């Protein structure tokens, strides 16, 4: 219903590219927490960062189902951290550059991001709180033709090794929702420091705490209108949450596929595991849950692609798909017995990477708040104008 022959050949070639260029390096990057530069460049050369970006800046402007394939195939090589580096660059930082950046910003930051020459990150969350986005404390004070940034951000994906930062800060701290603005900031601007954080999963991705100490940036690095940072951020959360929903159904799908293959080969009590009815039923239930989420996510991707503002639906997608993925992967690990717990098998990494799903990009509790407001209070959210 959603994928044409062109989509499928893109899937095939991207899959082959990942197997050849990425998979041989994954274990090393999982250990070092650093994805080497050459692969960013290769992604750029192959056009993968430009699939949804405008042609005038080097992109291909393709429909959202190419993005769906990009995300699904990244999950199927089983490094949530590597995948996160790539989609945080392509779909968090670059979405803001494309939607709010002016022509100069697009030429200086978006075009090299598509080429894989510049890496970006998106800085919203702060040590004092992430869920309460409008409660952020980082400030950007206008001084002549500059802004001066002070404050800190945390848990930022690509926060150590990126070349630029898309930063949300308060330009008017008195005004909670209308006092936020969004900037692009060069990494080498004096006053920026980053500390790498250790974490449970997503080990190949670099996650940082970042401090801004009197960081002076040109006023022209303001993106969009001053005071509109909050609606810009909220608006793009719809895409980010759908991205995370799609990631979830794809990694759960991978877990089921792997478990089925394993059960075919593993023998207990004289027969292969896939002959035990209790385990067959378990797989039947897991596969059904994956399919329900996948089909829902595709239908929301179609609506988003058609220009519908899918705040409620993307929140529902992330809420239930990430829960489903955690539960399905937990069960899949169980099906491998002791091997499920071993690092040479994929389930251990998959389980710890998956746990970020209900936390990052809006926790499940916050998503329930949004959905409840829309379903019970009939609240309507509109995109930034």
Ligand X SMILES: Cc1cc2nc3c(=O)[nH]c(=O)nc-3n(C[C@H](O)[C@H](O)[C@H](O)COP(=O)(O)OP(=O)(O)OC[C@H]3O[C@@H](n4cnc5c(N)ncnc54)[C@H](O)[C@@H]3O)c2cc1C
Active-site residues: which are they? 240
Which residues are CB-contacts of 65 (< 8 A; sequence separation ≥ 6)?
Answer: 2, 3, 7, 301, 305
User: CA nearest 296: which of 369, 239, 242?
Assistant: 242
Q: Are 329 and 255 in contact (CB under 8 A)?
A: yes
> Per-residue contact track with ligand X, 191 to 210, x per CB under 6 A?
--------x--x----x---
| Beta bridge partner(s), residue 152 | 211
Residue placing its CB nearer to ligand X in the complex, 161 or 202: 202
- Choices 7-15, 47-55, 97-105, 153-161 (CB under 6 A): range interacting with ligand X: 153-161
DSSP character string of 286-310:
HHHHHHHHHHHHHHHHHHHHTT---
Rounded to the nearest whole angstrom, what is the least distance from the CB of residue 141 to ligand X in the complex?
21
Does position 88 interact with ligand X (CB under 6 A)? The reply is yes
Rounded to the nearest whole angstrom, what is the least distance from the CB of residue 306 to ligand X in the complex?
28
Does position 93 interact with ligand X (CB under 6 A)? The reply is no
Does position 155 interact with ligand X (CB under 6 A)? The reply is yes
Does position 129 interact with ligand X (CB under 6 A)? The reply is yes
Phi, psi of 47 (to 5 degrees): 85, 10
- Choices 40-48, 115-123, 241-249, 279-287 (CB under 6 A): range interacting with ligand X: 115-123
Query: Footprint of ligand X on residues 274-293 (CB under 6 A)?
Result: none
Among 90, 120, 179, 360, binds ligand X (CB under 6 A): 360
- Exposure letters 208-243 (e unless 16+ CB within 10 A, then b): bbbbbeebebeeebbbbebbbbbbbbbbbbbbbbbb
- Count interface residues toward ligand X (CB under 6 A): 24
Sites of contact with ligand X (CB under 6 A): 88, 121-125, 129-131, 155-157, 199, 202, 207, 356, 359-363, 365-366, 369
């Amino acid at each position: 219903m959603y994928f044409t022959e062109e989509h499928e050949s893109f899937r095939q070639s991207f899959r082959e590219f990942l197997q050849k260029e990425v998979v041989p390096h994954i274990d090393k990057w999982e250990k070092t927490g650093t994805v080497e530069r050459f692969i960013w460049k290769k992604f750029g050369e192959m056009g993968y960062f430009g699939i949804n970006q405008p042609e005038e800046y080097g992109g291909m402007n393709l429909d959202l189902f190419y993005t769906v394939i990009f995300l699904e195939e990244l999950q199927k090589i089983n490094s949530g951290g590597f995948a996160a580096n790539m989609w945080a660059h392509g779909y968090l930082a670059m979405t803001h550059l494309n939607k709010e950046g002016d022509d100069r910003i697009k030429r200086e930051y978006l075009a090299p991001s598509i080429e894989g020459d510049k890496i970006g990150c998106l800085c919203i969350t702060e040590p004092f709180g992430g869920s309460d986005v409008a409660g952020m404390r980082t400030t950007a004070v206008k001084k002549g033709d500059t802004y001066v940034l002070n404050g800190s951000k945390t848990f930022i994906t690509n926060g150590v090794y990126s070349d630029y930062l898309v930063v949300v800060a308060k330009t008017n701290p008195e005004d909670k929702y209308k006092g936020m603005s969004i900037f692009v900031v060069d990494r080498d601007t004096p006053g920026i420091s980053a500390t790498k954080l250790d974490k449970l999963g997503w080990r190949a991705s670099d996650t940082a705490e970042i401090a801004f100490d009197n960081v002076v940036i040109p006023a022209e690095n303001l993106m969009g209108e001053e005071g509109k940072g909050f609606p810009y951020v909220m608006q793009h959360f719809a895409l980010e949450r759908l991205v995370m929903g799609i990631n979830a159904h794809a990694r759960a799908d991978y877990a089921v596929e792997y478990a089925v293959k394993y059960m075919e080969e593993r023998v207990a009590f004289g027969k292969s595991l896939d002959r035990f009815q209790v385990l067959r039923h378990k797989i039947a239930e897991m596969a059904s849950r994956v399919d329900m989420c996948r089909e829902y996510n595709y239908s929301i991707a179609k609506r988003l692609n058609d220009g519908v503002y899918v705040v409620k639906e993307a929140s529902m997608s992330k809420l239930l798909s990430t829960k489903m993925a955690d539960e399905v992967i937990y069960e899949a690990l169980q099906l491998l017995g002791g091997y499920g717990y071993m690092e040479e098998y994929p389930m251990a990494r998959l389980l710890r990477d998956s746990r970020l799903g209900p936390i990052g990009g809006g926790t499940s509790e916050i998503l329930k708040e949004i959905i409840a407001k829309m379903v019970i209070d009939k609240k309507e959210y509109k995109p930034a104008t």
